[in-house]
Amino acid sequence: MAAPQWDYSAINGQHKWVEHCKISGNRQSPIDIIHDQTVHDSNLQTLKFHSNKCSFELLNKGVNVSFTPVQDKDNFMQISSGPLDGVYDFKECHFHWSRDNTTGGSEHLLNGNQAQAELHLVHFKHDVNQPLETGDGLCVLGIRLVCQKDAPTDPMLKHLLNLIPKVAYKGDQSKCENQVALYEMLNNIREKYYTYDGSLTTPPLAECVKWIVFSDVMTISEDDFNHFHSVFAIGKGEDESAKDFYDPFSRSGDCRCHGKPKIRDNYRDVCDLSGRQVRRSFK
The H or E element spanning position 157 is helix 155-163
Give the pLDDT of residue 242. Answer: 72
In a domain, 228, yes or no: yes
In a domain, 73, yes or no: yes
- Helix, strand or coil, per DSSP, at residue 184: helix
Give the pLDDT of residue 21. Answer: 87
Give the pLDDT of residue 22. Answer: 79
The H or E element spanning position 158 is helix 155-163
Give the pLDDT of residue 239. Answer: 67
Instruction: Please answer whether residues 205 and 133 qualify as being in contact, where contact means their C-beta atoms are separated by less than 8 angstroms.
Output: no
In a domain, 4, yes or no: no
The CATH number for 135's domain is 3.10.200.10
In a domain, 200, yes or no: yes
This prediction has a pTM of: 0.95
Strands 279-280 and 39-40, by their bridges, are: parallel
- Helix, strand or coil, per DSSP, at residue 167: helix
Please count the structural domains in the chain.
Answer: 1
In a domain, 43, yes or no: yes
Compute the distance between CA of residue 17 and CA of residue 7 in angstroms, rounded to an integer: 9
In a domain, 24, yes or no: yes
Give the pLDDT of residue 74. Answer: 64
In this prediction, the residues of the chain whose per-residue pLDDT falls under 70 are: 1-4, 72-75, 239-241
Give the pLDDT of residue 46. Answer: 93
- Give the range of the structural domain holding residue 230, as residue numbers without chain letter: 14-280
In a domain, 202, yes or no: yes
In a domain, 91, yes or no: yes
